[in-house]
Structure 1
Amino acid sequence: MAQQTNEAQDESLQRNPQSNVMRRFLASHQSSLPILFLAVFVGLLAGLLCTFFDIAIDWVITQRNEWSKAHGEMSLLTIVAVVVSSALLSAFGFLLVKKVAPEAAGSGIPEIEGALDGLRPVRWWRVIPAKFFGGIGAIGAGLVLGREGPSVQMGSSVGRMITDVFRLNDDESRHTLVASGAAAGLAAAFNAPLAGIMFVVEEMRPQFRYNLISIKSVMIAAIVATITYRYFQGQGAMIPLPAHADVPLEALGLFLILGLMFGGFGVLFNRMVVWSMDGFERLHRHKTKRFIGIGAALGAMFGVMIIFLPRLTGAGESLITDAVGGSFTLSMLLLLFVARTVTTLACFCSGAPGGVFAPMLALGTLFGTCFGAVCMLVFPDFDITIGMFAVAGMGALFAATVRAPITGILLVIELTHNYELILPLLITSLGATMTAQAMGGKPLYSQLLQRTLSKQKAAVSTENENTPT
């Protein structure tokens, strides 16, 4: 009887091969299907949230620019209005961080890494509004901050929110969807799905639990978030740059030298980040009025610079295209590099809700362009352009500081659509990473997470000492 039943099933499967494929698929994915379906929702919600975050920031900046043009860009009324509005926007962002979600300060990526390791909580109900509206305020005020940090933290918070809504209590599912949200956030922030996936796999490798279910979920969330972003914002490159020809083989050694230089600067930059954060903490002493006052002062200062020194404000996307286009002299490139290093540290380390990826890409472009200009003078026979070194510099500084070279390479390629520069990007990023490692430097977000955990431990110890027995 059993033999007849099996023969009947085999005959049915032979008649309907599509059903056979579907049954095998369902059988092999039965345990993971709910998580994979939820990853779709994570990607969709994170994509919508990050896309509207991007649109809102652009709206604030556009409204300010149009108002300034309508009332005279250098008139006293315009100067006062821009300075006051920037101060208020920045103070609002700092207020939300201090009063609503202190963990929303900075990029938020160390918080997500800590959450994936089970060391930090994900309070999505307060992080999402604080990061969304606070990020709009701080970035809209003209501070040198990127949108990717808030997007990653909001995306991860969406992942945790989904686990709470659907009451998923197992740790593996929560971990997978939080990681999927991080990938979706970065993918939507930069319109870069591959970079979003690799960011979780490579940069968060100490925390990410790699298995077939988790990597599928990360890929699904990043794909859905990117499609969502492109539906509203289009499919073009976020930083459109001219296409470059292949780099001559005899010039590849120059890119290795550039990478070695970036490796040293990356270690120094990470140390300056920690020093600057400690300095800001000594300044505001965790007091609300002082903290918000610093935010207002930064906003007012950058409001003045929006009028008189606009190149030193914002994340720097337009600065990248201008530098590659040859708009600056060699001395101006060096001056901008030093000045924007200072403004990047001041904004990112102050506790403002914003990221540092985009400002670092601008710094890498400036120094890479400067190095390329020197190489063109020293080696006039080489068929090279400053744009080649500018693109390579973008990936090199990212690799040296974040210590995720593959993510940096993919991010630069997806941002600029310069696929021909993969080889120089690989060489420069590898040189930067090896130099930073040889100098004893640690990845930026690992340092920041350890700093947060150390302060958390110290606070708990102090509280225990002060508690009467």
Structure 2
Amino acid sequence: MPKSPNFRFFQGGLIKHRTTPKFFTTQYDYMVLIALSGFVGATVGLVIAMFEELINWVGDFRIHLVESASLSPFLSIIAGASIGALITALGFWLTARFAPEASGSGIPHLEGALDGLHDIRWRRVLPIKFFAGALTISSGMVLGREGPSIQIGGSVGRMFAGRAKRYQHATHILTAAGAAAGLAAAFNAPLAGVLFVIEEMRPQFRYSITSFKCVTLSSAAATIVMRSIHGQSAVMDIPNFSIPALNSLWLFALLGIIFGIVGVNFNRWVLSTTAKVQQLQKNRISRIVMTGAAFGAVFATLQSLVPDITGGGVELITELFRNPIVWGVCLLLFVLRLFTTIASFGSAAPGGVFSPMLALGTLLGLAYGSLMASYFPDLVPEPGIFAIAGMGALFAATVRAPVTGIILVVEMTDNYQLILPLLVTCLGATFIAQALKGKSLYSELLKQSLRNNPEIKRQINESHEDSKTS
């Protein structure tokens, strides 16, 4: 049987793989892995669709339960806080008891698995992330579904890889393909899913033409499944803006500088909050559950009183474009959501931070655009353009993946004509973040988890022992 093409790794993978001459021994192996990638993507698309439905159902059920009781306003707040505390505590307990690696967004854990630091125990990660993530995200905490979607996707890829052990590098490739499919399904953004794996996970992802094909096919398959269920419209129903004048690009560059500074400090605050919460919890399940109950009660109360500073933020973004508000109110909401986002994500709840970051970028970008419109009306005909640029800029500064941020935003908003101003803003934010010695949020979270999490340390030791015995 003829041999497959000679696929080689670029620099960046594990040392033992850098000299690997071939991925597969036969063309049959190559075709099987390509086909498996398509099955991974389709499965991930279906699972993420169910995950989204579960989040919406739990959230609606929680609110309906309080409203149907016909209580007084004060008792309604108490009842809502109690139910929020209960479901959030349950999500924290499930995570701490059965799958500690499913805490947080799950992306650092997935990156560690791609780098060979540990394995993905998909039999426990997949169900726990699915149900615990739905509980905490629907509680009113400022969390998004994209981080869990990526970890769920990677776990599905690892599940399929368990059936394809005879194919060399199947585990690595299918895990990465599942991660790309998870992001693509969460945001209806197939290109962003591919770019996220290549750009953000570049230290761990072993790039080759074959692995690229697998990731791309998986992302496309997940998007097809999601669109067949939810339709082909963009995630955010916002206006299509006209292309800004070239002489206004310096305003986007200035916005990028601002977001570069904000992004570096955002990462520092998240890491600091995460470390402090871990110190308080001391890996005790009782303290972890109490943390979840406290956060659930607080955010359920805030959701009934000040809904704009709770939740993932996608609805808020859409509302801001439909009914713009003055820049001062945007700035106030930005500050308030900044605190609630850092608190929610720093609690290590099983939820993501992509959507909350996009909401923060929208608020600060819209405030900036409205303010600049008062000084430069000829250059800023539509302040909403800066809100879209702000989405990508904060993502670029925190995750350090500017191209992914650009493509993610244009796919989510259907504003492909704004690629140039987004490019200027995102690159500016990335350059400033690099100049300030900022690090990628998920890379730093991975390092922090390896230092502080005994469960992950135990996984690494077991993985090393297994490799020695084999």
Residues 326, 370 of structure 2: 8 Å contact kept: no
Instruction: Give the letter aligned to residue 287 of structure 1.
Output: R
Paired AA for residue 217 in structure 1: C
Moved more, 125-134 or 449-458: 449-458
Partner of 1:32: 30
Max radius of gyration: which structure? 1
Residue 47 (structure 1) aligned with residue 54 (structure 2): no
Shift of 1:454: 2.4
Match of 1:250 in 2: 247
Q: SS of the counterpart of 2:169?
A: helix
Spell out the pairing of 1:441-460 with structure 2 (5 A cutoff): 441-455=438-452
Q: How does 1:323-402 map to 2 (within 5 A)?
A: 323-402=320-399
> Which of 101, 107, 110 is residue 108 of structure 2 equivalent to?
110
Distance 1:318 1:386 in 2: 19
Distance 1:397 1:229, change over 3 A: same
SS in 2 for 1:354: coil
* 1:210 aligned onto 2:180: no
How far apart are 1:272 and its partner, in Å?
A: 0.6
Residues 40, 221 of structure 1: 8 Å contact kept: yes
- Give the CA deviation at 1:40: 1.4
More moved, 55-64 vs 294-303: 55-64
2:197 to 176, 197, 200: 200
Question: Alpha carbons of 1:406 and 1:28: their partners in 2 closer, same or farther (altered >3 Å)?
Answer: farther
Tell me the distance in 2 between the aligned counterparts of 1:276 and 1:409.
28
Contact residue 101 and residue 456 of structure 2 kept, 8 A: no
> 1:314 Cα deviation (Å)?
0.5
Distance 1:299 1:325, change over 3 A: same
Native 8 Å contact 1:163 1:169 kept in 2: no
Number of the residue aligned with 1:3: none
Structure-1 separation of matches of 2:355 and 2:71: 27
- Name the structure 1 match of 2:21: none
User: What is the letter of the counterpart of residue 329 of structure 1?
Assistant: V
Of 68, 76, 79 in structure 1, the residue corresponding to residue 77 of structure 2 is 79
Cα deviation digits, residues 58-114 of structure 1 (max 9, x gap): 122233444555556973443233212111111111001100100001000011111
Maintained 8 Å contact 1:361/1:395: yes
**Residues in 1 aligned to 2:71 and 2:197: alpha-carbon distance in whole angstroms:** 43
Q: Which residue of 2 aligns with 1:294?
A: 291
Deviation at 1:173, TM superposition (A): 1.1
Contact 2:100 2:455 in 1 (8 A): no
Q: CA separation of 1:29/1:244 partners in 2, compared to 1, >3 Å: closer, same or farther?
A: farther
Residue 416 to residue 68, structure 1, CA distance change in 2 (3 Å): farther
Deviates more, 1:204-213 or 1:64-73: 64-73
Letter in 2 for 1:412: V
Q: TM-score normalised to the size of structure 2?
A: 0.89
Q: Which amino acid counterpart does residue 230 of structure 2 have in structure 1?
A: Q
Maintained 8 Å contact 1:324/1:369: no
| Counterpart-to-counterpart distance in 2, 1:136 and 1:245 | 38
Q: Does 1:274 align with 2:274?
A: no
Aligned counterparts of 2:64 and 2:242: Cα–Cα separation in 1: 38
Q: 2:106 is matched by which residue type in structure 1? A: G
Answer yes or no: is the 8 Å Cα contact 1:248–1:384 preserved in 2: no
Q: Percent identity at matched positions?
A: 49
- Judged with a 3 Å threshold, the aligned counterparts in structure 2 of structure 1 residues 109 and 74 are, in CA distance, closer, same or farther, namely farther
Aligned counterpart, 2:220: 223
Match of 1:90 among 84, 88, 91: 88
Question: Structure 1, residues 413-442: CA drift from partner, whole Å, max 9, x if none?
Answer: 111101121110000000000000011111
Residues of 1 paired with 2:380 and 2:450: CA distance?
Answer: 50
The one-letter code of the counterpart of 2:119 is: P
- Deviation at residue 327 of structure 1 after TM alignment: 3.3
Aligned 1:412-427 pairs, distance under 5 A: 412-427=409-424
- Are 2:29 and 2:167, in contact at CA under 8 Å, matched by a contact in 1? no
In structure 2, how many angstroms separate the alpha carbons of the residues matched to 1:66 and 1:299?
A: 17
Q: Which moved more, 1:326-335 or 1:38-47?
A: 326-335
- In structure 2, C-alpha distance between the alignment counterparts of 1:195 and 1:460, rounded to whole Å: 32
Query: CA shift at 1:256, angstroms?
Result: 0.3
**Letter in structure 2 aligned against 1:86:** G
Distance 1:130 1:123, change over 3 A: same
TM-score normalised by length of structure 1: 0.89
Give the unaligned 5+ runs of structure 2. 1-24, 462-470
**Inter-partner Cα distance in structure 1 for 2:66 and 2:422:** 40
Taking the aligned partners of 1:69 and 1:173, their CA distance within structure 2 comes to 50
Q: How far, CA to CA, are the matches of 1:459 and 1:393 in structure 2?
A: 35
